[in-house]
Amino acid sequence: MALEKEKQPVKPKRDPINRLLGYGEEVASYFRRRRIKRSPRVLIRWSDGTAKSVDPESSEGRSIMDLADQLIGIAEDASE
């Protein structure tokens, strides 16, 4: 006894305008994700695995970013 394949509904064809709009939305999403990914972030992780996000524009965030810059400078000097 052969098993019959379940018939799936046919997708309606998209007209060119809707297809272009879909592509445009995908491109906009890509650039939005890219901008978010490249923006400076301050994330503090504790040894128990918890994390806290700090606004890099706050005074606490600026202090942490300054300390991170100093540590990077020290590491670069030590590697030379």
Question: 3-state secondary structure string, the chain?
Answer: CCCCCCCCCCCCCCCHHHHHHHHHHHHHHHHHHHHHHHCCCEEEECCCCCEEEECCCCHHHHHHHHHHHHHHHHHHHHHC
| pLDDT digits 0-9 by tens, 22-71 | 899 999 999 988 887 777 788 889 999 999 988 888 999 999 989 989 99
State pTM to two decimals: 0.47
